[in-house]
Amino acid sequence: MSAKDKKSQVFSHFKKDKGEFLCQVEENIDVCGATLATKPFSLKRHFERHHYDIFKRVAETDEAKTSQNTARNALSEKETLSKNFPCKN
């Protein structure tokens, strides 16, 4: 699993500038432009408070990706175990 697979979709709505993130969500005809810390929690909290509709979509996408990665990891672990510890009949 690459680092890109682990990243939240929330990052796609921000532009990084000088170590900070600028919100790029368009509100009516303007861009939000809020400046936030680089922590994913801060970005998600901003979305939850100010752009709830996008927050819900991002949360659903992240949840789906997490469960898909968990299933993939479980299958990989099972395959590794079966190769290293074959069952005797």
CA 50 to chain centre: 18
Instruction: Quote the tokens at residue 46.
Output: 């901003």
Q: Are 65 and 11 in contact (CB under 8 A)?
A: no
Domain ranges of the chain: 10-81
Mean pLDDT per block of 10 residues along the chain (89 residues) reads: 57 85 84 83 87 86 77 64 60
For the chain, the C-alpha Rg in angstroms (whole number) is 19
Question: pLDDT at position 49, please?
Answer: 92
Global pTM value: 0.56
